[in-house]
Amino acid sequence: MKISIDLDCTPEEARRAVGLPDLTPLHNMFLTEMQKQMAQAMKTMDGDNIIRSWMPGGQGWDQMQKFWSGLATAGTTGGVKKDG
């Protein structure tokens, strides 16, 4: 025997029917707080700190320039330093 029941209700009505709490206010509060924290973090970040977060070992802008120039040199010399 197979019995099927189709219920036509909104997610909120289904939540209430099974007795689950409404977490919408908590969710909204969490999102608002996250937005405030992200905005504050964006105000205090500067370019050098962003570069330091990307580079291994927290190296700054000057180290990143040396890194890229080293790659360019390796590419033009075939990866081998030429003597002389």
pLDDT of residue 37: 86
pLDDT of residue 69: 84
pLDDT of residue 80: 57
pLDDT of residue 29: 96
**SS3 helix, strand, coil % of the chain, rounded to 5?**
65, 0, 35
Q: What is the pLDDT of residues 38-83, one digit of tens each?
A: 888 778 777 777 767 766 666 666 777 787 788 888 766 655 555 5
> What span, in angstroms and rounded, lies between the C-alpha atoms of 31 and 2?
44
